[in-house]
A and B are shown apart, each in its own frame.
Chain A
């Protein structure tokens, strides 16, 4: 019996660990370092209809136990991803979750329709939460009504289940979660980055060219855990949790809070082998906790 397997809409995961969107490109670079078939799934970089060149540099800044980024959704565009990136990933035994972004509903719909037909794309992750683009992105993620309508429009055209990626930059995240559930979302992924800013000591000006950036890394984990906890109590669709994961203990926390699977972002930059290492360490961790199958962890925090 595989103690780590998890079944989610569209996704048969051999283990619940996957790299988060934007922190793993389209797999090629980390594929030089280890066998990508070890992973539960791969969330690829956000894909937009047209190629995007992203924001000016500097695009990243280090902060206390974290980092800010304002990449600006740089990607080769739908055609580039379909022709140049996804076919290469077919050699691996790993489901791909395609992250879809846009500036208006029509873009999202077009990208979702086409990319969901790629043979190895088993689910979509709708990015309604990118803080780093001028229009679209986060505006879809902060208004429940708009989030619901977008989810519905994408569900209509997608050939695979649709997960919606939530922004933590809202007053009540539960409201948005319930809205996308009502719009027909098959699952939720959370959290995207928290909007932040770092200033240069000498000039007093923002370090990141874009001014603000999205905060990620260990610093955001408590916020992410709280939000997964709240949302998992309020919806009946599964959650893929993320935010600040660096080690196996963090997986236990996210799943206990209510996540069914966990994504790892920033930690890949610090330790490129973090995903396979966590996967390898999970069985011993389950033994230590006296747990037979990893699914027993899901939502432990809610039980009396």
Chain B
């Protein structure tokens, strides 16, 4: 169920250049059903900035009633969010959308998880849940440069992890596809989140494979009422259009026209 919760910030840390990790405590955590779901955060109690900001859930700790979000402080809203300290309250609406289907990969099978920049966070909880059920995960994580890299160690603990940077200052130089080419097609499922050109390249490269992609779109309501976040579907899809916020953000490969 979607709820509006005043969650308590339990920690806020800068973990890379302009990248913040925030832990939030509240009853909303108990409503989360799958990795890849997101929350809609009101960064200020005033109407400036006006709109909520959509941010993925990066990690969940049900016992502690705590979730982690990882975000880039870039524009007005996320910069205000980055100034919150432990003990502050934040207005959070969620959990929203449909996340990555963990059940699509069977125990003993392998999955490849590909993330780009701020698309990396939701893959962390996904990898935790997949590895917990005995899926072998390989991670390919792309960043701009070495100061933007985060969670390398956390992902490495869960499985083989390849870091790629555009300028080559850390890991492989180039794009995630550079590493993907070397890894080949010997896996059962792929899961990805990142910028549109990256998703497009991945879908092409893994044509015919089973995969799930998480999309981004500008949002208004975040719950399916305003039609701000719509994407066209490919020909032959059941629906003429889909809403990223409530039908997605995760879709099977081939559904969204990219």
Which chain B residues in 194-227 approach chain A with CB under 8 Å?
217-227
Contacts of A284 in B (CB 8 A): none
Tell me the chain A residues, 209-259 only, with Cβ under 8 Å from chain B: 217-218, 246
Q: Are B47 and A218 in contact (CB under 8 A)?
A: yes
Partner of B227 from the list A71, A218, A246 (CB cut-off 8 Å) is A71
Interface residues on chain A, number (Cβ under 8 Å): 37
Is A266 a contact of B227 with CB atoms below 8 Å?
A: no
Q: Which of B226, B230, B231 neighbours the largest number of chain A CB atoms within 10 Å of its CB?
A: B226
- Beta-carbon contacts of B223-258 to A below 8 Å, as 1s and 0s? 111111111100000001100001000000000000
- Determine the distance from Cα of A218 to Cα of B51 in the docked complex, in whole angstroms: 12
B120 sits at the interface (CB 8 A): no
> Is B128 in the interface zone, CB < 8 Å from A?
no
A59 on interface, CB distance cutoff 8 Å? yes
Contact, CB under 8 Å: A53 / B220:
no
Q: Which residues from A are CB-within-8-Å of B4?
A: 33, 271-273
Q: Is the CB of B50 within 8 A of A74?
A: no
* A217 cross-chain contacts in B, Cβ below 8 A: 47, 50
* Distance A69 CA – B47 CA, assembled complex (angstroms): 17
Residue from the list A22, A57, A58, A62 in contact with B51, Cβ < 8 A: A62
Known contacts A32-B2, A57-B218, A217-B47; decide if A74 and B230 are in contact (CB<8 Å): yes
A57 surroundings in chain B (CB, below 8 A):
217-218, 228-231
Does A65 interact with chain B (Cβ within 8 Å)? yes
Residues of A within 8 A of B51 (CB): 60, 62, 67, 269-270
B1-28 CB mask vs A (1 if < 8 Å, else 0) is 1101000000000000000000000000
Instruction: Give me the 8 closest cross-chain CB pairs, A-B, nearest first.
Output: A25-B225, A29-B225, A60-B228, A74-B227, A58-B218, A29-B223, A269-B221, A29-B224
| A interface residue numbers (CB < 8 A to B) | 22-25, 28-30, 32-33, 45, 51, 53-54, 57-67, 69, 71, 74, 217-218, 246, 266, 268-273
Q: Which B residues are closer than 8 A to A by beta carbons?
A: 1-2, 4, 42, 47-52, 93, 217-232, 240-241, 246
